Amino acid sequence: MKLFYREEGSDGPALVILHGLFGSSDNWLPQAKMFAEDFHVYLVDLRNHGQSPHSDEFNYDVMADDVAELIDAEGISSPILLGHSMGGKTAMTLALRNPQLPSALVVIDIAPRRYPDQHDRIVEGLLALRLADLKSRQDADEALSPYVPEPPVRQFLLKNLKREPAGGFAWKMNLDTISSNISEVSKAVGDSSVYSGPTLFVRGARSSYVTDDDLKDIRKHFPGARLETLDTGHWVQAEKPRELVDLVRAFIKNELK
C-alpha cells in the first residue's frame, strides 16, 4: 500500500515517525519541526488513518509491511524508526521482522506485550455520532462527551472529522475497519524474534502502559534496550515535546556516532 507521508528537514539521518491509534501525521508536526534541525523526517499516515488509503486488513503485520514498502520505494537508507503507542508496536514489528532495515528504534510509551482491550467505549461513541446531521464540531464534541469525558481526548479524536460539501461531516479514518479489528491493536508483537540494534523506550511516569514488569519482555526482544521516563501521561510527545526531542536526539547521537 502506498502510504501518505510528509517530509521535514533535508540533511541528516532519516527519521520515520509513526503515530498512534486514531492519530495521523498531523499530530507530530510540531515535534517534526524540532527534529528537522538534525534529521530528514518522514511523517507517515498509517493505513486507515489520515490521508493514507483504506483497507479491510488492519493488523501489525500489514502496517509494518506498508512502512517497509514506503522505505524501499523512497530509497530511505538505514532509517531510525520512531513510533508512539500503536505506531510503536508497528515500528517494533518492522524491526523484528527486518532487523537489518533500521539503524535504531525508538518506542514511545508502549511495550511489546498484549494489552487488555480498552478502546471499546471510544469506538462506541465514535460509531454513535450521526455525522450527516452534525452542524458543527461543537455538536460532535457534545455528542461524544458521554462516551469520552476527557476534553483533550475528544479534541484529538475529532481531528479525524472532515466537512462534506453537501453538509454534515465524514471520517477521514476508516472507522468501520478500525472498529471491527480493534482487538488487533491490543495484541502482543514479537513471538521469538529479536532486534539487537540500538533501542530506546520512553515511558510516561503517569502512564500505566510501560511498567517495571515489562522490562523483562522488552529486553527479550530488544536486548540492547534502554528505558527512560519523562513526567507525563501516555501522550509523552504532546506533554513534553522538547524534552522528548532532546532525549531522542542525544540517544541517536550517542548510538550512531
Task: State the catalytic residue, choosing from 24, 25, 52, 85.
Answer: 85
Is 72 labeled as catalytic in the residue annotation?
no
Is 176 labeled as catalytic in the residue annotation?
yes
**DSSP character at residue 98:** -
Assess contact for 73 and 65: CB atoms under 8 A: no
Looking up cell 537489518 gives: 100
Task: State the catalytic residue, choosing from 176, 180, 208, 231.
Answer: 176
Looking up cell 523506550 gives: 201
Amino acid sitting at position 144: L
Angle of CA points 145, 149, 150, to nearest 5°? 120
| Beta bridge partner(s), residue 6 | 43
Determine the Cα–Cα distance for residues 165 and 76; give it in Å rounded to an integer.
38
Assess contact for 71 and 101: CB atoms under 8 A: yes
Quote the cell numbers at residue 65: 509491511
Is 139 labeled as catalytic in the residue annotation?
no
Assess contact for 14 and 79: CB atoms under 8 A: yes
Residue 211, classified by CB atoms within 10 Å of its CB into exposed (0-12), middle (13-18) or buried (19+), is exposed
The dihedral sign for the CA sequence 5, 9, 11, 17: negative
The residues that are catalytic are: 85, 176, 234
